[in-house]
Amino acid sequence: QEDIDELQALNGDRLQIIKASAELRNLPSSPSLAIVGEEKQLGYFGAYGFGAFCTTDDDGFLTALVNQLSDSTKEPEQAAPTFINVIGEGCFCSWK
């Protein structure tokens, strides 16, 4: 709990911590990333880190998704589509 409190203090209102339900604890691997827009629309779900060193790529893909979801000038029908990465290889660590 101390780590969670410290993480929340460092990030303030930018971070919403949601504790996983028992069903979600059965995920086969992590870390994964979910990006959710202000209107609660899912923008991305999938691997957070890619490649052998579990780092994010500098291609700007995830950054572009965040920018699209936060663009309040777009009409709802112009919103970024949801991208669920189920085939991409990423950095996944087995739960112990």
**Is residue 11, in this structure, part of any structural domain at all?**
no
**Is residue 8, in this structure, part of any structural domain at all?**
no
The H-assigned helical ranges of the chain are 2-11, 61-70
What is the chain's mean pLDDT, rounded? Answer: 70
Mean pLDDT throughout 5-13? 83
**Is residue 3, in this structure, part of any structural domain at all?**
no
- pLDDT of 94: 58
Residue 43: other Cβ atoms inside 10 A: 20
**Is residue 25, in this structure, part of any structural domain at all?**
yes
**Is residue 7, in this structure, part of any structural domain at all?**
no
The Cα–Cα gap between 47 and 55 comes to: 10
Asked if the peptide bond before residue 31 counts as cis, ω within 30 degrees of 0, the response is yes
Residue with tokens 């993480």: 7
- pLDDT of 78: 63
- pLDDT of 39: 76
Number of domains in the chain: 1
- pLDDT of 83: 72
Residue with tokens 């919403």: 16
- pLDDT of 72: 62
**Is residue 6, in this structure, part of any structural domain at all?**
no
**Is residue 13, in this structure, part of any structural domain at all?**
no
pLDDT in tens, 74-95: 665 666 677 776 665 555 555 5
Structural domain containing residue 70: 18-94
**Is residue 52, in this structure, part of any structural domain at all?**
yes
